[in-house]
Structure 1
Amino acid sequence: MKRLALALMLTAGPLTAQQAPETAPSPEARPEGLATTEGEKAPTSVPSPEARPEGEEGLDTPEPTGDPAEAEAEAEAEAEAEAEVESATETEAEGGAEAAADAEAEGADTDEQDELPDTNAGARDSVPAMPERLAAPQSARDACRAELVALGARFEEGLPVEDPEVADCGIAHPLTLSRILPDVALEPPAPMRCETALALARWVEGFAIPAAERLGRGGLSAIRQGTVYNCRSRSSDPETLSEHAFGNAVDVMSFGFADGSEVRVQPRERDGTMAEAFQDTVRATACLDFTTVLGPGSDAAHADHLHLDVKERRGDFRLCQ
């Protein structure tokens, strides 16, 4: 009997295990955070990647099976390629900025090449005409005239110079200069702004007279001009007014000396004469008092004279060619 009972028990055990309910909830179906019931074992399965907390991705990612050295070489190549792209981008940006700066300098700072308001500016009520915009305050005009008198210049003050057709042409407070210094005449006398006359007087006193003394011709006696005030456009840009239209410029054609001789401004490259040395000297030193100096070699329009003007530019930029 005992043997029969034991055989029945051994047979019933496996059957009980095999007949366990198939609808028991799987561990994955348990609401997150719900504690296990007493006597029940916690699920032993690893949470799926979707359930893994944020920031722990890749903890169970298998290591790459490729060659580590090859992977490192690929990473270095990618880094070098990115560095080359960044370097090329920076170089292109710098080159573009430099090109823009060069273009601005070339376009804005040539003889009478800074852009000026159009010639109809005076017709607009909101924009004064150029003579008024260039006019210095009374205190500056008084100081300018006082320095001219101290240098021995001779001039007459006159009424405003105006042009009936072009409002931007003219000089608000002109003076007609006849003698740059007591012994140096301006031939013929011409109206100009005081700033132009003062630059001319400073240059002649400081540089032209000392240079002329080296020639042995009895000293400088005259500056002969071809154009001072003239309501016209630039030679290089018919749409923009010249500095001559505002009384800002003087075209020096020749230098007269006490012995009756003269040195005409003309191309003198490598002729090896004292006249060339004198012309080169006065031309180079003029840029200390004028903001624009052009002459033979600058362009065809300035082959026979020195163009000197006092145009104001940003940063006191000077164009000397």
Structure 2
Amino acid sequence: MRRNASRVLPHACAAGLLAALATACSTESVMSLRPDVDVGVQTAGVPAAVPMTPAPADATAPTPVEPMTAAPADPMTQAPADPTLAAYPRFEVPAEPQDVMPADEVDCRRDLKRLGVKFRDLSPIHEGSCGIDWPVEVSAIGSVRMKPAATLSCSMAATFSRWTKKELVPAARWRYLSGVKTIHQGSSYSCRNIRGSRGTPSQHSQGNALDVMRIELNNGRDIDVRKPGWFAFRQRGFLNTVRQDGCDYFTTVLGPGYNADHADHFHFDIMQRRNGYVACR
């Protein structure tokens, strides 16, 4: 009996040792071997992890777990489809600016149409300090043709058109019993300074000036703006009327007799001056 007991004892000790080890190795102790990981701030689109609750040692059935309901995702914080982009902000591409014609330019073009002006819009002109933001090209004022077509600011085009219809055409009918067929112009828009000035821009450089060289009538008469002879009474009277009436529309009217630069044309412009001063010479 003593010999049999000595054989059973080691087996019993081994079985007891195995049972003790099995009891000590629980699920909680195994999970505690995981390394700590910093996952940072979790987005609303990724549900938070629910800690595992081990069942009581003496429980005969598993404890029911309430089903987890994820909060509705916030579109501003929802995780992107590509997890690698989660840490990057969302950039919106700005819209391309669109050029919109100002209201005064729109009104000016309506005015041109009421005056019967034949014109077309041109692309903006920018040449250093010269240019016109919203230029127009005038080819006719009613039945009066413009040769060559004049590139002007809309304000200058409208002013010149009113003068043509209300002063130039009636003066021609009064003096010559004829309408005006063509206005021959020598310069509209031109990027240049006033000759003899120290860098003062000409009104031509802004499209606010026009030079008239000749006026052709329907009856075939061609009236040169250059100073007429002593006995050309009708032509002199016509040109004096045209020149003087222009001072009611333009802020600058220059012509033959003013200086050598204006000996062969009338210069009209709408330069803005202090106190409404008009240079009519």
TM category, shorter: 0.5 to 0.7
| 1:217–1:257 Cα contact (<8 Å) kept | no
Q: Distance in 2 between matches of 1:317 and 1:266?
A: 26
Question: 2:137 is paired with a residue of what secondary structure?
Answer: strand
Q: Which runs of 5+ in 2 are unaligned?
A: 1-100
Scaled by the length of structure 2, the TM-score of the pair is 0.62
Q: 2:244 aligns with which of 281, 284, 291?
A: 284
CA apart distance, 1:144: 1.1
Of Structure 1 and Structure 2, the greater helix share is in 1
- What does 1:82-93 correspond to in 2, within 5 Å? none
Q: Distance in 2 between matches of 1:159 and 1:239?
A: 26
Residue 102 (structure 2) pairs with residue 141 (structure 1): no
Q: Distance in 1 between matches of 2:260 and 2:198?
A: 16
Question: 2:150 is paired with a residue of what secondary structure?
Answer: strand
Residue 254 (structure 2) pairs with residue 294 (structure 1): yes
How many residues end up aligned between the 2 structures?
Answer: 181
Residue 124 (structure 2) pairs with residue 160 (structure 1): yes
Q: Distance in 1 between matches of 2:132 and 2:108?
A: 15
Residue 175 (structure 2) pairs with residue 215 (structure 1): yes
Match of 1:273 in 2: 233
Q: Which runs of 5+ in 1 are unaligned?
A: 1-136
Per-residue CA deviation, residues 175-216 of structure 1 (Å, 9 max, x unaligned), is: 001112x21111110211001101111101111011000233
Q: 2:156 aligns with which of 181, 184, 196?
A: 196
CA apart distance, 1:221: 1.2
Residue 179 (structure 2) pairs with residue 224 (structure 1): no
| 1:155–1:176 Cα contact (<8 Å) kept | yes
Match of 1:244 in 2: 204
Q: Distance in 2 between matches of 1:272 and 1:258?
A: 20
Q: What residue identity is the alignment partner of 2:199? A: E
Per-residue CA deviation, residues 56-76 of structure 1 (Å, 9 max, x unaligned), is: xxxxxxxxxxxxxxxxxxxxx
Larger relative contact order (CA 8 Å, sep ≥ 6): 1
Q: Distance in 2 between matches of 1:171 and 1:151?
A: 22
Question: 1:214 is paired with a residue of what secondary structure?
Answer: helix
Q: Distance in 2 between matches of 1:255 and 1:195?
A: 22
Q: Distance in 1 between matches of 2:230 and 2:219?
A: 26
Match of 1:177 in 2: 138
Q: Distance in 1 between matches of 2:207 and 2:143?
A: 23
| 1:217–1:261 Cα contact (<8 Å) kept | no
Scaled by the length of structure 1, the TM-score of the pair is 0.54
- What does 1:30-41 correspond to in 2, within 5 Å? none
